[in-house]
Amino acid sequence: MLSELRISGLGVIDEAVAEFAPGLSVLTGETGAGKTMVVTGLRLLAGGRADPGRVRRGEDKALVEGRFDLAAAATMDTGDRSALDELLEDADVELDEDGSVIAARRVGADGRSRA
């Protein structure tokens, strides 16, 4: 489960942090508040196409970080949990002490993207 989302330098967002709890989370705001940039950040974390035009004017990069709480994975189907463990092992990912993992995506104003 996504427990925290950090975005900096993306569109109208200078810097923002959102924390999520289990259950339904709703994102609301006025026109131009940055809701679309939050969705763009989620797409970047999921491996979506990086658009350097989304980097905030005056910044050299945009950064999106997501903290995923994998403690809930203990209740997953055994096959799904095995696939998750294999994926993490193949990527040489170690869980934090609290059972979470952080994924990050950087998009440079020059068009370079790094996960």
Tell me, what's the pLDDT at 99?
A: 83
How far apart (Å, rounded) are the C-alpha atoms in residues 109 and 48? 16
For residue 48, give the DSSP letter. P
CB count, 10 Å around CB of 16? 15
Q: Amino acid letter at 53?
A: G
Segments of the chain scoring below 50 in pLDDT: none
Domain boundaries, the chain: 2-114
Tell me, what's the pLDDT at 115?
A: 82
pTM of the model: 0.84
For residue 71, give the DSSP letter. G
**CATH code of the region 2-114:** 3.40.50.300
Count Cβ neighbours within 10 Å for each residue of 94-114 and write b for 16 or more, e otherwise. eeeeeebeebebbbebeeebe
Tell me, what's the pLDDT at 73?
A: 67
Tell me, what's the pLDDT at 77?
A: 74
